[in-house]
Each structure stands twice: as C-alpha cells, then as structure tokens.
Chain A
Amino acid sequence: MLLQVKNLRKVFTVGLIKRREIVAVNNVSFQVKPGEFLSLVGESGSGKTTTARMVLKLLQPTSGSIMFEGRDVLGLRRLEELRGYWRQVHGIFQDPYASFNPLHKIDRVLNQVFTLIEDSGVDRESMIKEALREVGLPPGDVLGRYPHELSGGQRQRIMVARCYLLRPKLILADEPISMIDASTRASILQLFSKLREEYKTSVMFITHDLGLAFYVSDGILIMCKGSLVEQGSPDEVMEHPQDPYTKKLREDVPLLYKKWDGF
C-alpha cells in the first residue's frame, strides 16, 4: 500500500469570545495503491481540500494517522525528512496562476523543484527542457516568459512538468482541469496517464466534477460535510449508489444522454 489514511479528523476552532468548533474532516479513512487513480469527490465545503492539505502535510490533523509506504507521515519533523516526503507526494492546485509569482519568470517555478532534489550534479537546464517537451510545451515558447503571458492550459502544463522533474509516487491534484477549456482538458489528463504508465505514479484527484471522476479513476470516494459517505469503483458508485447523498448527487448532475424529469 502506498498511502494509508486512518480516522483522519480536523477540527477548526473559530471565534475569539464565543468559541465554536467546526469539524472540517471527520473520521476519514482510505488507501491508495501504487499506480492507482482515485477521485475524492465533494462539493465546496465538504472537506476534500482540507483532507488533501493534511495528506500533503501542509496542515496538522487533530487526530488520526497517515502512513506513506509504511512510514508515519505525521511524525516527520526535520526539514530534510519533509523534503523527502514532498519529493514523493506532490500537490497540484486548482488555479495554477496562484502557484506562480507574477513578478518572476516561469523558469523559477521549475527551478524550485531542485530544492527538493538532493543530487546537485544534475544538468538542470536540460532536465527542465526535457520535462517541458514531455508535457507538450516547446521550451523556447515558455522559458523566459512571465506567468501572465501564458494561457491557463500552458500554466497547468507547467505544473505537470514539475511532476516530470520530481517523479513523485503520489500526486494530489486539486481541481486540475476546472480552469481549463473543454477542448484542452483531455490532453492534461493524458499527461497523468503517461506518468502512470512510465513511473507507476498514483494520482488522487480532488474534484467536484463527478463526470471527471467517473471517467478517469479506478476508485471514487464521495465526501459530504466532512465525512466519507461512500466509496467504490466508478460503476458501483454511479450505478448502485447506497448513500442518500450520492443518490441525490447522481440525480442532480446534468447528463448528456438523458434529460432530467420535468425538464
């Protein structure tokens, strides 16, 4: 097992005088196998991004455990241990624009990857160029340019190019295609499939898009109000949903080949 999450819980305390507790993630357990594509599906506020942030060790859980390749992730404290973990578990976020500093050329976001790679003897420039070619970006078109000069699709590809440099074992992709035009979406998804074929990379898609989850993943986890309400293969979850929330979600998603009742 690559990743094993058990009884993960995150409680936020809000308010200065009148303190109130919000349970953002409640007793969430799941596991990811090597080479597996998993989708964590939920609407805004369901706790899916909070879960991803805890797995990425950007946020400390209130309780629960996260094991990566049998090692306790929550116990990692020293910087080099953390760097080692982030090299293997990498995050890609919804709006790639927010991941770039608008004042720096995009070369920087690629060069930063090398702070996670210990080997200092590598030829950075040729590695970056190779990674860019892997994701279908001619290096001459993007290197030396500023984030605003690139399209949303190109920025998203650069984030995937970072994965080609790092070759992580697990990618957490938070809404990786929601900002991208429909016609170029498939090509981004193909990049993830290529990583899986070449390096057995696992991907966890964090998304509200049930169609995407159904189409790309081996397994779907449905999250609602902080809890996992259902998990199974895409066909099980879509054809025979057990939980009332999943049933409602399935009824409310607009389909291409079937009209809603009364519409």
Chain B
Amino acid sequence: MALLEVQHVRAYYSTRKGYIKAVDGVDLVQEKDVITGLAGESGCGKSTLVNTLMMNVKPPLHLMEGTIVLDGNAISKMDRATLKKKVWGVLVSLVPQSALNALMPTKRIIEYIDDAISHHMAVSNSEVASMARRRFEELNLPVETLTLYPHELSGGMKQRAVIAISTLLNPRLLIVDEPTSALDVSTQKQVLKMLLDLRKAQIIKSMMFVTHDIAILRQIANQIAIMYAGKVVESGSATDLLYDPRHPYTRGLMNAVVTPEPEVRKRGLISIPGEPPDLLEPPKGCRFHPRCSRAIETCRSVEPPLVREGSRHLACHNPLPA
C-alpha cells in the first residue's frame, strides 16, 4: 500500500476577486521508501499542494474537495487538534520554504526542540536534551549548535538544524519545500547529503522534495511529478521524465535547464512562449494549450485527465511519441 494517496484534491484561496485555483484536481501517490520530486515553476501550486496534502489548510486556503490518506489514516477528515497531536511531526513533517527565517531570534535551538517534542510526548527537559544530542551526533552536526541562537548559525547550518528538528520524531514522510534555493552550491550539496544520510540511517524512509531546480531532482529523486497551473501533468520515474519526457510542458522545462555540461550546450536553451496563466481564471481545456506547440483542437475545450501510460502518468491529448 502506498504511504500517501491523494485523490481529486482541490484547494483554493478565497479572495475578493474569486477563487485562486492553486491546486485543482490533483491525484498523487507517494510510495514507501521513495524520494519523490515535485517540480514546477513559481506559482504553479506546488507549495500549496504540499501544505494541503498534510492538511495544513488555513483560511484563506480551503480544501474544496478530495481525500488524503496518509499511512492508512484519512487525514482529510481530521480536525486541527487531532492533526496536531497525531499527524504533524509524527506521521508527516514539513520543512517550509521560509524555514531559514522561521526561527525566532531570541530562542536557542534546544528550546525549539523542547517545544516541538512537548506537543507529542511527556518528557523532561533533560531527556529532550539527550535525545537531541544523540540525533545531532548521528547526523554529524556539531552538538554545540544546540545551545546557540539562530543568528549565530550560517544559512546552511540553520537549514540542517531545522531539518534535524523536524525529523526528531522519525515521521513516516518528510516534505521539504525548496530547502536549498537560498544557499550557495557547496552548502546546497551538504544539505542534500544530509537528507540522504537521514535515509541511510533509516530515520526518514520516504521523502517529498519540492523544487524548481530540475538538476537537483536528477541528483536525489527516484520519482518525479511535474505540476503546471494547479495540476499534475506528468509523473513517473526520474530517468523516464528527465530523459524521455512525453508531456510537452515537461520537455519544455527540461529544455530550459542550463547546467555547465557539453550536452546542454549542444541541445541549446529553448524557452516556452508566453507566461504561466492566472489561476483566478485558468484557460479552458488543457491549461497549457495557449503555450503548447503540439496543441490540437481537443486541447482547447477538453481537459485531459491524468491517465496511466506504461510506467508513468500523463495528462495530454497529443503527447510526444515514446
């Protein structure tokens, strides 16, 4: 059984102008022992999706429709108090995009850990301290960090500390949202290395990694899901999607990646015409059709469903040949 199953989920932001359809009919499966990469451009709804799939849904965001089953629990039906107690931190942890700035400047790192754990277990301060120390040692993080204030840590160290805190209770699923986009490349690699260490130590077995950086997904993801304008347009194994994309948008994203490699120079940098749509009023039919060079008549009127095609899932009326 899959660890996380998301079915027909719609999550909208209510505004005075109407609903912003940030997540609009998403089906997604996270298998056990897999790192899934969730990729897409800014504003495609990927951060909203990961918040929704752990039911971190607060107005103006509303879950309009859909079911979310995490480790056998229908969490889409739970209230906030139950989620806090039984789900967050224990079954699933999210390291949000702004985690680097999420730490209060007047609290030492150890005080955060105290707070995080006291929500879930009745343990004394000294027990928490020794738990934290053990975990930091396990992950090769300097133990002295625990007694420091956030401003005394570098960006990379702060990010690693946040990840260590989020995984103290060994959640079944860890979601990290753009954990490295504000970091230098060398620091970025250290953070990614730490995520893999968490897996090697069997602390975290399953992970969802949200990013706009496809080259990073190449390094760590087993599975990839591509999002466009609130929908998943293609998902499958990382190698299938990167080297043999079938959805024109997936191919477009790959063609826009520039890495310092001769293959990339040979391929060239090709842009997708136009810009992502306004999610207040997304285009009818396939949301990508106004920018798509392969669009046919059906694409303008009929929304393509996400269907199984061999080992991948694809939502396209006129996909690229296999």
Which secondary structure dominates chain A's binding surface? helix
* A-contacting residues, B90-149, CB 8 Å: none
* B-contacting residues, A206-254, CB 8 Å: 208-215, 234, 238, 248-250, 252-254
**Closest chain B CB from A253 CB (angstroms):** 5
Set of chain B residues within 8 Å of A182, measured between Cβ atoms: 41, 212, 214, 253, 256-257
Q: Name the residue of chain B whose CB is nearest to the CB of A187.
A: B271
Cα distance A248–B188 in the bound complex, in angstroms? 13
Cα distance A182–B212 in the bound complex, in angstroms? 8
**Closest chain B CB from A157 CB (angstroms):** 11
* B-contacting residues, A148-192, CB 8 Å: 151, 153-154, 181-187, 189-190
User: Do A44 and B184 have beta carbons less than 8 Å apart?
Assistant: yes
* B-contacting residues, A59-101, CB 8 Å: none
User: Do A211 and B186 have beta carbons less than 8 Å apart?
Assistant: no
Q: Which of B7-15, B61-69, B215-223, B306-314 contacts A (4 or more CB under 8 A)?
A: B215-223
Give the contact-size bracket for chain A.
35 or more
A255 interface residue per 8 A CB criterion: yes
Set of chain B residues within 8 Å of A249, measured between Cβ atoms: 185-186
* A-contacting residues, B173-201, CB 8 Å: 184-186, 188-189, 192-193, 196
Task: Find B269's partner among A44, A186, A255, A259 (CB 8 Å cutoff).
Answer: A186
* A-contacting residues, B249-293, CB 8 Å: 252-254, 256-261, 263-265, 269-273, 275-276, 291
Assuming the contacts A185-B271, A187-B271, A253-B185, asked whether A211 and B216 have C-beta atoms less than 8 A apart, the reply is: no
Cα distance A214–B269 in the bound complex, in angstroms? 12
Cα distance A238–B293 in the bound complex, in angstroms? 34
Cα distance A250–B259 in the bound complex, in angstroms? 10
Cα distance A22–B245 in the bound complex, in angstroms? 49
A14 interface residue per 8 A CB criterion: no
Set of chain B residues within 8 Å of A189, measured between Cβ atoms: 269
User: Do B261 and A258 have beta carbons less than 8 Å apart?
Assistant: yes
Set of chain A residues within 8 Å of B219, measured between Cβ atoms: 254, 259-260, 263
Kindly count the residue-residue contacts between A and B in the assembled complex, taking CB atoms under 8 Å apart.
Answer: 119
B242 interface residue per 8 A CB criterion: yes
B298 interface residue per 8 A CB criterion: no
For chain B, the count of residues having a C-beta within 8 Å of the partner chain is 39
User: Do A211 and B258 have beta carbons less than 8 Å apart?
Assistant: yes
Set of chain B residues within 8 Å of A185, measured between Cβ atoms: 256, 258, 269, 271
B42 interface residue per 8 A CB criterion: yes
Set of chain A residues within 8 Å of B257, measured between Cβ atoms: 182, 211, 256
B71 interface residue per 8 A CB criterion: no
User: Do B41 and A181 have beta carbons less than 8 Å apart?
Assistant: yes
User: Do A214 and B185 have beta carbons less than 8 Å apart?
Assistant: no
User: Do A215 and B184 have beta carbons less than 8 Å apart?
Assistant: no
User: Do A209 and B258 have beta carbons less than 8 Å apart?
Assistant: yes
Set of chain B residues within 8 Å of A257, measured between Cβ atoms: 259, 261, 263-264
User: Do B275 and A263 have beta carbons less than 8 Å apart?
Assistant: no
**Closest chain B CB from A193 CB (angstroms):** 11
Task: Find A153's partner among B214, B260, B264, B275 (CB 8 Å cutoff).
Answer: B275
Q: Name the residue of chain B whose CB is nearest to the CB of A43.
A: B184
Set of chain B residues within 8 Å of A190, measured between Cβ atoms: 271
Task: Find B213's partner among A208, A215, A254 (CB 8 Å cutoff).
Answer: A254
User: Do A256 and B41 have beta carbons less than 8 Å apart?
Assistant: no
**Closest chain A CB from B243 CB (angstroms):** 9
Q: Name the residue of chain B whose CB is nearest to the CB of A220.
A: B260
**Closest chain B CB from A94 CB (angstroms):** 13
Name the 10 nearest CB pairs between A and B, nearest first: A186-B271, A214-B260, A183-B272, A211-B258, A254-B215, A182-B256, A43-B184, A181-B41, A186-B269, A211-B259
Can you name 10 A-B residue pairings with CB atoms under 8 Å? Answer: A182-B41, A182-B214, A186-B270, A208-B184, A210-B185, A254-B218, A254-B259, A255-B261, A256-B259, A260-B189
Partner-B contacts on A (CB < 8 A) = 43-44, 151, 153-154, 181-187, 189-190, 208-215, 234, 238, 248-250, 252-260, 262-263
Partner-A contacts on B (CB < 8 A) = 41-42, 184-186, 188-189, 192-193, 196, 212-216, 218-220, 242, 252-254, 256-261, 263-265, 269-273, 275-276, 291
